[in-house]
Amino acid sequence: MLKRIFRFYYQGFRDMPKWGKQIWLILLIKLFVIFVLVKFIFFPNFLKTNFSTDKERSDYVFNELINKSENDSITVKH
């Protein structure tokens, strides 16, 4: 069954007109840019760059979670 599915898509891409292949190429380039380049540019590894050990990283995350939780519970509701 998997072989039949593969042949179905393989034949579809092989018989596709030139403009269809160009559209797929543009789509793949855009996906590469979105998922790979944007991740490295806009989402650097904050914990790896600022802390050297796993213990320091876990302590930081734990403290941030606790501080956020305490700040949320302190707010006065009227």
Q: Which tens digits make up the pLDDT trace of 8-50?
A: 999 998 999 999 999 999 999 999 998 888 888 887 788 888 8
Residues 39 and 65 in one domain: no
Residues 28 and 58 in one domain: no
Residue 30 is predicted with a pLDDT of 94
Q: What is the pTM of this model?
A: 0.50
Structural domain count of the chain: 2
Residue 28 is predicted with a pLDDT of 94
Residues 3 and 26 in one domain: yes
30 alpha carbon, distance to own chain's centre: 14
| Residue range 61-65: mean pLDDT, rounded | 90
Residues 74 and 49 in one domain: yes
Range of the domain at 57: 45-78
Residues 6 and 33 in one domain: yes
Residue 18 is predicted with a pLDDT of 94
In the predicted structure, residue 56 carries a pLDDT above the cut 60: yes
CA distances in angstroms from 39 to 26, 31, 69, listed in the order given: 19, 12, 28
